[in-house]
Amino acid sequence: MKLKKTLIIVALLSVGTVLSQGLKEKIADKKFDNEEYASASEMYSELAAKKTPKTKYFVRAGESHLKIGEYKKAEAFYGQAFTNQGMTDRDYYNYYQVLKYNGNYTRATEVFKKINTAEFKNIRSALTHHADYHEFLKDSSNFKIGTLQGINSEQGEFGAFQVGKDIYFASSRRNYGAMHKKYGWDDSYYLDIYVGSMEGATVNHIHHVGDHMKTNYHEGPLVITKDGNTEYVTRNNIDHNHGVKGKDNHVNLKIYYRGKLGEHWEEWKEFPYNSADYSCGHPTLSDDGKTMYFVSDMPGTLGSTDIWVTHFENGNWSKPTNLGQSTNSEGKEMFPFLFENEILLFSSDGKPGLGGQDLFYTVPSPDGGFEPQNLGYPVNTSYDEVGVFATSNKTGYLSSNRPGGMGKDDIYSFESKNPIFSTPVNFIVKDVLTKAVLAGAEVSILDDAGKVIGKANSDETGHVKFNLIPGRNYKSKTKKDGYKNLDIMIPEKDLANLAKESKELYIEKKIFGLVGLVTDADNNSPIEGVKVTLTDAFSKVAVVYNTSNVGDFKQIYDKLKEGDDVSYIVKMEKKGYITKTVPADISIMKDGFIKLHEVTNMKMSKIKIGTDIGKLVDLKPIYFDVAKWDVKPEGAIELDKVVGLMKENMGMVIELGSHTDCRGVAKANLTLSDKRAKSSAAYIVSKGISADRIFGKGYGETKLINKCACEGKVVSKCSDEEHAQNRRTEFKIVKIKG
């Protein structure tokens, strides 16, 4: 009986342990869902220490520690989860972020490769181009970072905004709401807005801005329009000082604004695109107050939070537009700040950087335009850098939770030796000959590594504008249909001047043309005054040129382009020379002049006794059947070439001489060659050539042109090819009439 009672007690204790673990998990889950990460992290840590922990415990312990900034603990828990089954792609992404926080970039890249979903395709693409984290360290000597004296506390400060000597910021140092309420996320006080006075490098006389900002929830950061007449603040969605949850069960953020009437502030109003179901916050405005950039996770957001833009038109804010993939990512983009109406600074953990939220700047445009630039170390670290405010192109403030500060977040000053943000660079595209401005020319800007960092088309006035980072050399590429591409270097020393005046980009129109050179067949000297007629083989349109004193002529094509083909009949005429007609087929492969004399034979021969005109028309051998002298069809084609030349040169009298090789009986060769010569001459006469201008004569083997004799006892060792050289037909000029 005693043993039985003992077993019952042990069983009851075991059930109690299971129930307490299950109950603790439910409580931890509820705290996690309510974003009470400080207490959730402790409970999941305890659950993960059990004998048979779930992967969920490690993952949620890691995520909770990540949320409250305990990155070493987060890495330890994610590392344990990584060895088990059950991590989602979002878990891998969080682990990847934790590893970057801790500077473990190699391991971070390996973990990111485990993500299979296309959800992070933009981050994956960016990482392939910025895999080396050392690139963000190369300008580190350019910056000096300092703690902003007098402003920081043991709690958190961020979001500095300066107006004159007054500097506003958000802080959790002491909540001015009821009972100094704390925030379950990280067990800190809710944020309120404070203001202090800049005196040298120190902030003095810090105090809460007053009751008009008092709520029981988060207030801040605050921004004020340049004219001082409108304030914008980010705060939790509240009603009668109580948080209002959306359908996601969270109290989201909203943008509120109020105007100044005389010396008094009006009541707060809501930004029209606020919602209980998503957040809007962190506004920044142009100098005229008519352009606002802000952060939201409204429908259409690419990642966790994106930067959106809206414009004040006709008394209303326009429907917000997402800045797109050039600025936003699948991560978090936050805390935009508009510097000098053009340069947008913001923080992101979804773009290549040193870890956590890094600070970037860009020049937003509808087509994406300028790739956001990471400000690099030591402005950025492996921790979070947020809430930047630039007081000039070299100085400003930022907030960071980097080690060594007083509290969870501190405000720092930064100063650069060189201008940090992009310099406006202006170009104007013109025609090099007419000096006319050219619209629609595509201008690309490349960095010193050859990467295209900007691309735009010239407007109706020929102008195009870029914003480039000072301190670097660039290259521009200009191209336009019908013009040659232009590549020029843009030295760093010229950038400052190009902000004030436009650099002229002169581009040369592409020329598609033809040049022909007529030369003497005997000595290759150029022939002046040759009448050259180009007749289009298809349209039959003829154009006449006369060669210059250097024997050439040129033709410019107005309508032809790369890839076009054209065929000509080329006729060359000059007194004292044999008139010549040759075909020419041309393919236009690139801009410039095609050399017609390299496409066809444009050498001319002087009219003189003994010239063989068959060589001038590239005559092929004329063949007859064995022991026959009738002109065959293929022979007629060659004889027609002679007919054409004789019609063009009416004063020539031609002897058509037919020759054989030594093989066969000499007398028979002589007789056969004479018949073939006379038959060929008769064919030419039948084509309209006067009989007194051509006669045929056979020479048999009497005029061999090589040493291939073989009559009588002489035995020839010549090859068939050598014997073939003697079987020929010649068309020699024997007389010139007139």
What are the tens digits of pLDDT across the range 350-393?
888 888 899 999 888 765 656 788 898 999 998 999 989 999 98
The segments of the chain whose pLDDT lies below 70 read 1-19, 129-132, 175-188, 211-216, 366-370, 471, 738
Show the CA angle centred on residue 425, arms to residues 424 and 426, nearest 5°: 120
pLDDT of residue 181: 60
Q: Right CATH number for 613-736 from 3.40.50.2300, 3.20.20.70, 3.30.1330.60, 3.40.50.300?
A: 3.30.1330.60
CATH of the domain spanning 423-507: 2.60.40.10
| Structural domain boundaries in the chain | 2-116, 156-373, 423-507, 512-604, 613-736
pLDDT of residue 583: 93
Count other Cβ atoms within 10 Å, centred on residue 520: 15
Query: Which SS3 state, helix, strand or coil, does residue 241 take?
Result: coil
Nearest Cα neighbor of 687 from 606, 728, 631, 737 is 631
For β-strands 452-457 and 442-446, DSSP reports them as antiparallel
CB 400 within 8 A of CB 412: yes
Name the residue among 283, 287, 376 with its Cα closest to residue 336.
Answer: 283
Separation between Cα atoms, residue 64 and residue 478, nearest integer Å: 52
Same fold, 2-116 and 423-507: no
pLDDT computed for residue 74 by the predictor: 86
* 11 φψ region: left (φ > 0), alpha (ψ -120 to 50), beta (else): alpha
429 burial via Cβ count (<10 Å: 0-12, 13-18, 19+)? buried
Parallel, antiparallel, or unpaired for β 503-507 and 423-431? parallel
Distances in whole angstroms, Cα of residue 604 to Cα of each of 424, 520, 594, 648: 61, 5, 20, 13
Instruction: Tell me which residue has tokens 């060929």.
Output: 680
Residue pair 301/322 in contact (Cβ under 8 Å)? The answer is yes
Alpha carbons 620 and 728: distance in angstroms, whole number: 10
99 with 126: CB under 8 angstroms? no
- The topology under which CATH files domain 156-373 is Tachylectin-2; Chain A (2.115.10)
- Cα separations in angstroms, 215 against 212, 241, 260: 9, 6, 21
CA distance 560 to 565: 9
The CATH code belonging to domain 2-116 is 1.25.40.10
The pLDDT tens digits for 85-94 are 788 888 988 8
Nearest to 197, CA basis, from 209, 188, 206, 185: 206
Q: Which among 587, 648, 651 has a CA at the least distance from the CA of 616?
A: 648
**CA distance linking residue 555 with residue 546, whole number of Å:** 11
Among 578, 644, 636, 638, residue whose Cα is nearest residue 612? 578
67-99 burial string, b = 16+ CB within 10 Å, else e?
A: bbbbbebbbbbbbbbbeeeebeeebbbbbbbbb
Instruction: Please write down the HEC assignment for all residues of 550-603.
Output: CCEEEEEECCCCCCCEEEEEEEEECCCECCEEEEEEEECCCCEEEEHHHHCCCE
* Distances in whole angstroms, Cα of residue 63 to Cα of each of 37, 56, 72, 248, 250: 8, 10, 12, 19, 18
CB 281 within 8 A of CB 292: no
Helix/strand/coil for 527: coil
* Domain 512-604 CATH assignment equals 3.40.190.80: no
- Cβ(59)–Cβ(84) under 8 Å? no
Q: Give pLDDT, residue 2.
A: 41
Confidence (pLDDT) at 148? 84
Give the pLDDT confidence score for residue 175 in this predicted structure.
54
Determine contact, residues 109/99, Cβ cutoff 8 Å.
no
Question: Which element (helix H / strand E) includes 486?
Answer: strand 486-490
